[in-house]
Amino acid sequence: MGRQDSLAKSRAAGSGILLRALLLHCALFDPRRCGAVCLPETGCDTACAFYIIQYTETMDSIGHKFRTSETQILAVNPSIVETNYIVTGNPLYVPFRCDCVNDQMLHKFPYQVTDDGSVVNITSNAFQNLTQPDWVASWNTLADKNTVKAGTYLDIPVNCSCGNPSVSSDYGLFLTYPVVTGTGSNLSGIASDFNTSVDLVKRFNPGIVWDNAQPTQYAFIPIPDRNGNYTPYGSGISNSGAGGAKSSNTGVVVGAVVGGAAVLFIVLALVLYYFCVYKRRKQNKNRRTLSRPLFTNSGDSHFGYTTPSSSKASSNPGSNSFAATSPKDYSTNNSVEYTHEELRNATNGFSVANEIGAGGFAVVYYGEIRGQRLAIKKMNLQATKEFMAELQVLTHVHHTNLVQLIGYCTQEFLFLIYEFVENGTLDQHLHKTKAGIAPLSWLSRVQIALDAARGLEYIHEHTKPKYIHRDIKSANILLDKHYHAKVADFGLTKLTHSKVDDNSATIPTRVIGTWGYMSPEYARFGDVSPLVDVYAFGVVLFEILSGREAIMRGASTMTGEATPSSVTWREKEPGALVNFFDPVLTSPNGKEKLPKFMDPNLRDKYPLEAAWKMAQLAGSCTQDLPEHRPTMRTAVVALMTLSSATQE
C-alpha cells in the first residue's frame, strides 16, 4: 500500500484537520430536495470509503461501525495480512453497497451512539466527517442535534458513486475520498496519490471547485481492485431496486461471477451423479431407502445455530462419493477451504464440550482457527441437499443481517463453517431456553425486527436470482454481541424462477418447514413465494410482542375468546400464536386490549402506540391470502418508521 502510506504521512504532517468526507455539491443541502437522479437507478454492489484507523480501534470495531466484516475489509485491503495488528493512522478502504435512496447515491449506516454528545461530534469523530451534521439531522428525528444521548440509534448517510459511463465506462469501483480545504494543488496531489489523471478526477467530480475547496467536500476517485485491475462500469450494478445489495460488498474481485458459475456447474453435475447413479446403486445393494420426515418441528437449537431434525438419520454414515471428491470441486471465490485436521484440532476432536447445537443430520461445534471464533457444522453425507443449498446461497449473497459463511470442508463429512454469533438466538432470549438470559428491552426488540426484515428484504429484492428462505423462525435469527440480528440456516432455501419478478408468483415444491410459521398456501399446496417468508416473519413479530412460542400448548383457553369461525385455516392450526392475537386485531378497541397480550418481561416499559403498530404489521404479514400481505420492503419501511418513533 505504497500510495496509501505516503498519503497517510502527508495527511499526518498537515493541518491535523480530520478527514473531510463524502458529499456532492448537491448533498451539501438536503439531497431529497435536489432532484438528483441516480446513476444507475438500482445502485451498485461495490463502493469504498476512505478511513483512517484511530487509536484503540480494531478491525472488528471498524467492521461493526460500517456493517461489514473483517473478511470483506481484507478483500479490498490486500496489504493487511494480520487483522490483530493494524496500525493507528494508516488508511483503510471500507467496502459498502452504494444505494439509490430518494434519487441520491448513498448508503445509510445504522449507528448506536456510545457516549453522550452532539451530531457534530458523531460526524467528526466516529465517522471522520463522512457526512455533515445537518444532513444526519435531516435523516433522523432528533429533539436537539446538540444533545444526543448514549444508546440512541441514528442513520448515518454516506454518499458514494458507481461511476458514469458518459465520462468513462472503464471505471466502476470508486473510493469516496475527503478533500482537504485549500487551493487547487490538492487536485494534483490526490491524482498523484491514487495514480490517476487530474483530468479524470475533474470529470468524475464536476461539483467540486478545486481552486477554492469548501470544508467537508469529497471526491470520488476510481481505484483498482485487489488484483490491480480497474473494474468496468456496470460490473457491480444490481438489476433490482434500490435499498439493498445483490451480492458481496467485496464484489471488486474481478471474475468472481465467471468463476462461481463454473464451480456451480461442477457442483450440480456431482449432485446429479450422486442422486441418479451412486444413490441408486447404494439403495439396490442395501435394498432399502433413506427416509426423512415431511415436517421438522424446530430442530435442536443452541447458541444460535439450528440443524434439521430427523429421527432416522444415521449417526455414522460411513463413506460416500463426496468423501472421495476433491474439495477443489466445491471451491468458491468467497469461502475458505479448511482441512478435516484443522477442524478436528479446533474442536478438540469434535468433543462434546465444544458442541453448541445438534440435530438429525448435523452437529454444530464451537472452534477457533488462527484466532477466529467459528461455528463448525458437521453434516452427515445424507444432508447433501442442505449442504448444497447453504453453500450456494451464502457464497453468493452477503449482507450484515445474514450470517456469514466463512468456509467449508468435504473431507470425510460435509462441513460448513460460519462466523460465531455471540448472543445466541432470538428464540432463546424470548422463551428462556438458555439459562441466565436477561429479557430484551423494547428498543432491542424493534432493532432486531428491523435487522431481520432487512436481511429478508435483501434476499427477496436485491439478489439475482431471488431466494426464499422457507424456514424463518425465531430460532433462525441470531443475535451478535451488540444485539443486532442475522438471519441464519439456509438449508431449505429455494431459488425463484429466473423469470419470476412478482413477489406473489409461486413455485410448487415439497413442504418442509416448521409448524406455526408455515403460511396456508405453503402448508396446503406447497406453493412457495417470498410471501411465505413474510408470513413467517409476521409470526416472529408476534413472538417479539408476546414472548410466547409460535405454537402454544393450551392456547385455546388463553384468549378467553373463540377463534373466528370464518378463519378456516386457523381452525386447523390450534394453538398457533396468530390465533392468540385475533381478539386484538379484530376488535375496534384492540389497542386497549394489547397490553394483556404483551410479554410480561417488558414490565410495561414500551410505547403502546409503537407496540400497536408492530401488532398491526404482524397481522398484515400473517393474512391467510398471500396477496393481502405486504412485501418485505414494505415491512422494512414500516419498521424504520417505528424505530424512529420509538427512539423519539
Q: Kindly tell me if the per-residue pLDDT of 488 is higher than 70.
A: yes
Question: The pTM is what?
Answer: 0.50
> Letter for the amino acid at 179?
V
- The 3-state DSSP composition of the chain as helix, strand, coil percent (nearest 5) reads 35, 15, 45
Catalytic residues: 471
Q: State residue 170's pLDDT score.
A: 93
Give 97-131 pLDDT, tens digit per residue.
998 888 889 999 988 888 888 898 888 888 887 88
Fold that domain 258-419 belongs to in CATH: Phosphorylase Kinase; domain 1 (3.30.200)
- Residue 380, sorted as left (phi over 0), alpha (psi -120 to 50) or beta, turns out to be beta
- Segment 577-595 mean pLDDT: 93
Please give the mean pLDDT across all residues of the chain: 74
Instruction: Return the CATH class of domain 426-647.
Output: mainly alpha
For residue 47, give the C-alpha cell.
463502493
Is residue 144 scored above 60 in pLDDT? yes
What's the confidence (pLDDT) of residue 212? Answer: 57
Residues 565-577 have pLDDT tens digits of 333 444 445 578 9
Cell numbers at 166, concatenated: 458518459
Going by C-beta distance under 8 Å and a sequence separation of 6 or more, which residues neighbour residue 509?
A: 494, 526, 527, 528
Residue 470 has pLDDT above 80, yes or no: yes
For the chain, which residues make up each domain, given as ranges? 2-244, 258-419, 426-647
378 annotated as belonging to a binding site for a ligand: yes
Neighbouring residues of 542: CB distance < 8 A, sequence distance ≥ 6:
548, 550, 577, 578, 580, 581, 615, 618, 622
Average pLDDT over residues 364-386: 85
* Prior bond of 91 cis (ω within 30°): no
